[in-house]
Amino acid sequence: MKKRLIALVCFILTFFSSLSAQTIKGTISDNDKKLIAVSNILIKRDSSSISEYTFSNNGYYKITLNKSYKRIIVEADAYGYARNQYVIENPIKGKIYVVNFELKTDINHLDEVIIKAKKKSFSIKKDTVKYNVKSYLSGSERKIQDVIKKLPGVNVNESTGEIKYKGKSIETVLLEGDNLFGYNYSLGTKNINVDMVEQIQAIDNYSENPLLKNIESGDKVVLNLKLKKGKVDFSGNLDGGLGIFNDSNIASNTNLNILGITKNYKSFGVLAYNNIGINRSPFDYFSFNSNIEELKEKENYIEKIIPESRFSNFLSDDRVNINNQSFGNYNAIFNIGKKIKIKTNLYYLNDLIKSNQFIENQYSIGGSDFITTDNYFLSKRPKQYRGDFNIKLNTSKSSLLEYDFRIREEDIHTKSSIESNNSNNFTSSLRSDDNYIKNRLLYTKKISNKKALQLSVFQSTNKTPQVYEITSLSLNSSSNVNRQKVYTEKNRIGSQITFLGSSFSNKYSFSLGVISNKNRIKSELFNSTNISENYLDYSEELIYQRGSYHFNFNKLRITPSYSINYLNQEIVNYEKGTNINRDNFTLAPSLNLRYRLNNISFIQGKISYVQNSKAEKYLFENEILINNRTTISNMPNLDLQKVLNYGLFYFKNDLYNQMEINLGINYQQIENSFFTNTFINEDILNINYFLLPETNNNLGMNFLISKYLSFIDTNTKLSIDYSVSNYKNIINNSDLRNNKNKSTNIKMLFKTAFDGFINFKNEFNFSNFSSKNENSDEFINEAFTNSFSVILNPIKEVFLKLSSNYFLPNFNKRNERYNFLDASIRYRPKNKRFEFELIAKNLSNENNFEQIQVVDFSTNRYRTNILPMYIFFNMTYTF
């Protein structure tokens, strides 16, 4: 399989490179023979349609054509100048044509080139692509995220809300040019109504700090939402809906969004309540997927030792998230004069999530086969209060002072009733608190037009006390109570000075910094026989010097970077009376190469080598109880993990021909990993983590192609992901076992864009996962899903959507399949502020869902209840 995928990658790259025909190059100058810095070069077959395009660079251009032509029209267009054309009749393949243009000044010039295709509309101006929202609407979209998903070159992660543009994660989503949401931009994309937004802009080479424009490396990308005219001062929408579930309970959804924009003020607020599985917040208390902000700031957080119950599922959250969520959020930016800008973000969340989960594990270990079962009835209540404050002060025209402050208080209380192995009954309670404070001060000084200096100081504190109690109920009604207390704390403080500069088209940065981490862990496990305790401190002192240089050679960009580090680690175990100390000097080099094939495609390669410590996650030696079966412990080790990473990628985003291609291969080799020594029987699961100087490796490959087929008015997308992971473990006192996991996932999407009253969408997904130990049989599971929708628009004011979602979790059990049927009809009177919608969900009334997962020593069957059938009436008022 791996060889076939590699062959496929090579074939596609060879195929696209072989399409080259004629090459056209030349100069663009004005009446005075001076070169015009930026202009558009358009290749046409006739006077109206554009086939290919490129841009000039400092007055020079060159384009190698990818299509065959009997007649080539070359058109030059630049801001402030009249267009000019040159015609090549009967062009010869392989020939290089030199076409120089001299453009005359035109007072009535066009600001930009606007390209409109059927059902699509966008424009390109320098580093910005402007998507016209109206051109991407089919009638089923409610929130702006529904439109963002459809934009060519843009991909949205449904689980985390992360948005990528041209394969690169965006920094944020701006609102009328202001960074109102920060990394929690899903607040805006999930809640802002489609009707409020006129245009979505994708901006390359973005710099939020105006002093660093054209100085810092231009790798940042953002989206900017441009509002419709009239959606300023004060506007918003109110959604109110009521319905009934199949079990006669009331279904409810209320959502109020308020948008305020004036010259010196921008704000967006959300007030929402629902019990139909919708998560309006950027925080995931259902599956606990980390959002963008949490991934960016993970170094500040300490991981909870007792994990929260994760309700992971193959289905979307709105089918299985049996919630009762109240959420409030307010975001505002104030401009005080020309020098001061203040931003505030306030959050409140209160939810009640319920779930019934049945888990069956079929183990095959060393010739011994046995089965364990657990039936969980869970009730989880998360609460969060949070406030963010940011102030920017322009102390002078060349200096900027910024201060960030955040405080968060989170409480999660989970109650469970457990039936284990159909004979043992338990009740449990887990209360987890999470208190977090962060301070950051950043000063920027622009030394010259090409140089700047930054100084930052930061501090954070994260405390996570947890109490877990579990009671085992016997036949004679006596009880055996286990109580696990855990207290963890992390204090982080540091400072960094950075020098940034640019020389011609090259850019560089050099940093010197120091970081101090101090962690504390205290735990006590009480039961009827003994007490297990941990009490220790872990400190990490890091001094580093980092640098990177971006060399730009026309189409080639070479970026070498490095980090020289001194790391001191110490573990003081007060309970055992031991002390472990380690000093390390390390060098972490990396190299990134990017070659621009043309203005719509590039090849990128990277290689990096990193040495870092993973000790923070594996500190305590005595057992900690984390659920009714499982205890965990560690053998602490301060040796550094060594990671070698290679990657090769190809990306093409042809907006004019509405075609996108992504190819990627990534290999990772990890030495000095923490492995698991696991003991399993019918009643208990003991896991001990230990470090060995052994190697794990991972190989990942991906391929994506999307294309709008104009002859059938259909958007198509095909994606293939393949991965292989080799790892080691110990099970029930075995020798060190070599294991291999393989995963293949294939998705295909077809979506019509007819002008008529009917359109269709179909998406299928096939997955194959296998896990094998060198001394045992292979565990394999194959699953299949298919989603089909019909969208009807018989008259302009009415939209009808019918959907079918088919799931086959296990190919070997084809009788265990699921089919979810949904329907909705929306009526929107012309030129009215009101909109009405009738929604019917889960009409087939499926009441649970089951999926299969495999590892190297077991097959896991997971079943969960889902939201019952409900019928729901919703009214939206826009003001």
Q: What is the mean pLDDT of residues 33-55?
A: 79
Share of the chain above pLDDT 90, in %: 52
The partner residues of 473 in beta bridges, in order of sequence, read 425, 479
Residue 54 has which token pair? 């490129």
Q: What is the mean pLDDT of residues 611-619?
A: 93
Contact 724, 770 (CB under 8 A): no
Q: How far apart are the first and last CA of the chain?
A: 56
Q: Supply the pLDDT for residue 118.
A: 44
Q: Supply the pLDDT for residue 531.
A: 81
| Per-residue model confidence as pLDDT tens digits over 567-583 | 999 999 998 899 999 99
User: Same domain for 779 and 863?
Assistant: yes
Q: What is the DSSP-derived secondary structure letter of residue 299?
A: G
Residue 429 has pLDDT above 90, yes or no: yes
Residue 245 has pLDDT above 60, yes or no: yes
Closest CA to 712 of 746, 760, 748, 757: 760
CB count within 10 Å of CB 613 equals 21
Residue 333 has pLDDT above 90, yes or no: yes
Greater confidence (553 vs 313) lies with: 553
Residue 389 has which token pair? 């404050």
Backbone angles phi, psi at 581, to 5 degrees: -135, 140
| Angstrom distance (rounded) from CA 182 to CA 606 | 28
User: Same domain for 93 and 173?
Assistant: no
Residue 232 has pLDDT above 90, yes or no: no
* 186, part of any domain: yes
CB count within 10 Å of CB 16 equals 15
| Amino acid (1-letter code) at residue 5 | L
Q: Which residue has the tokens 């008529």?
A: 756
Residue 10 has pLDDT above 50, yes or no: no
- Residue that is last in its domain, among 196, 230, 264: 230
Residue 731 has pLDDT above 80, yes or no: yes
Q: Supply the pLDDT for residue 62.
A: 86
Q: Supply the pLDDT for residue 312.
A: 63
* 97, part of any domain: yes
Q: What is the mean pLDDT of residues 71-100?
A: 84
* 262, part of any domain: no
Contact 462, 436 (CB under 8 A): yes
Q: What is the mean pLDDT of residues 845-864?
A: 85
Greater confidence (1 vs 126) lies with: 126
The number of folded domains in the chain is 3
Rg of the chain over all Cα atoms, to the nearest angstrom: 29
| Per-residue model confidence as pLDDT tens digits over 495-532 | 999 999 998 889 999 999 999 999 999 999 988 667 88
Residue 47 has pLDDT above 90, yes or no: no
Residue 632 has which token pair? 């965990």
Q: What is the mean pLDDT of residues 826-854?
A: 88
Q: What is the mean pLDDT of residues 283-303?
A: 90
Q: Strand pairing of 23-29 and 101-102?
A: parallel
Domain that includes residue 15, residue range: 2-102
Closest CA to 346 of 396, 389, 307, 380: 389
- Residue that is last in its domain, among 204, 230, 256: 230
| Angstrom distance (rounded) from CA 238 to CA 193 | 10
User: Same domain for 30 and 146?
Assistant: no
Residue 474 has pLDDT above 80, yes or no: no
| Per-residue model confidence as pLDDT tens digits over 774-822 | 877 788 889 999 999 999 988 888 999 999 999 998 888 888 889 999 9
Q: Supply the pLDDT for residue 61.
A: 86
Q: Supply the pLDDT for residue 743.
A: 94
Q: What is the mean pLDDT of residues 117-131?
A: 71
Residue 17 has pLDDT above 50, yes or no: no
| Angstrom distance (rounded) from CA 9 to CA 16 | 11
Confidence grade of residue 484 (pLDDT, cut at 50, 70, 90): very high
| Angstrom distance (rounded) from CA 97 to CA 25 | 6
Q: Supply the pLDDT for residue 476.
A: 47
Q: What is the mean pLDDT of residues 409-418?
A: 96
User: Same domain for 139 and 81?
Assistant: no
User: Same domain for 147 and 24?
Assistant: no
Q: For residue 32, what is the domain's CATH number?
A: 2.60.40.10
Residue 262 has which token pair? 């004036």
Residue 102 has which token pair? 């001299």
Total residue length of the chain: 879
Confidence grade of residue 288 (pLDDT, cut at 50, 70, 90): confident
- Three-state DSSP class for 600? coil
pTM of the full predicted structure? 0.82
Closest CA to 540 of 426, 619, 425, 481: 619
User: Same domain for 137 and 180?
Assistant: yes
Q: What is the mean pLDDT of residues 730-759?
A: 90
Q: What is the mean pLDDT of residues 834-841?
A: 93
Lowest mean per-residue pLDDT among 208-222, 351-365, 860-874: 208-222
Residue 18 has pLDDT above 90, yes or no: no
Confidence grade of residue 313 (pLDDT, cut at 50, 70, 90): low
Q: Supply the pLDDT for residue 448.
A: 92
User: Same domain for 28 and 135?
Assistant: no
Greater confidence (538 vs 314) lies with: 538
Residue 164 has pLDDT above 90, yes or no: no
User: Same domain for 16 and 152?
Assistant: no
Mean confidence (pLDDT) of the chain: 88
Confidence grade of residue 4 (pLDDT, cut at 50, 70, 90): very low
Confidence grade of residue 109 (pLDDT, cut at 50, 70, 90): very low
User: Same domain for 202 and 54?
Assistant: no
Q: What is the mean pLDDT of residues 215-238?
A: 81
Contact 779, 771 (CB under 8 A): yes
Residue 662 has pLDDT above 90, yes or no: yes
| Per-residue model confidence as pLDDT tens digits over 683-719 | 889 999 999 999 999 999 999 999 988 888 888 999 9
Q: What is the DSSP-derived secondary structure letter of residue 193?
A: B
Contact 866, 846 (CB under 8 A): yes
User: Same domain for 226 and 77?
Assistant: no
* 434, part of any domain: no
Confidence grade of residue 89 (pLDDT, cut at 50, 70, 90): confident
- Residue that is last in its domain, among 230, 261, 289: 230
Residue 107 has pLDDT above 60, yes or no: no
Q: Supply the pLDDT for residue 528.
A: 67
Residue 363 has pLDDT above 80, yes or no: yes
Confidence grade of residue 121 (pLDDT, cut at 50, 70, 90): low
* 148, part of any domain: yes
* 249, part of any domain: no
| Per-residue model confidence as pLDDT tens digits over 439-466 | 999 999 999 999 999 999 999 999 999 9
Distances (CA, A) of 21 to 7, 56, 68, 358, 596: 25, 20, 7, 61, 18
* 769, part of any domain: yes
Residue 587 has pLDDT above 60, yes or no: yes
* 433, part of any domain: no
Residue 143 has pLDDT above 90, yes or no: no
User: Same domain for 51 and 81?
Assistant: yes
Which range, 67-71, 494-498, 680-684, is most confident?
494-498
Share of the chain above pLDDT 70, in %: 94
Confidence grade of residue 116 (pLDDT, cut at 50, 70, 90): very low
Confidence grade of residue 56 (pLDDT, cut at 50, 70, 90): confident
User: Same domain for 48 and 196?
Assistant: no
CB count within 10 Å of CB 491 equals 17
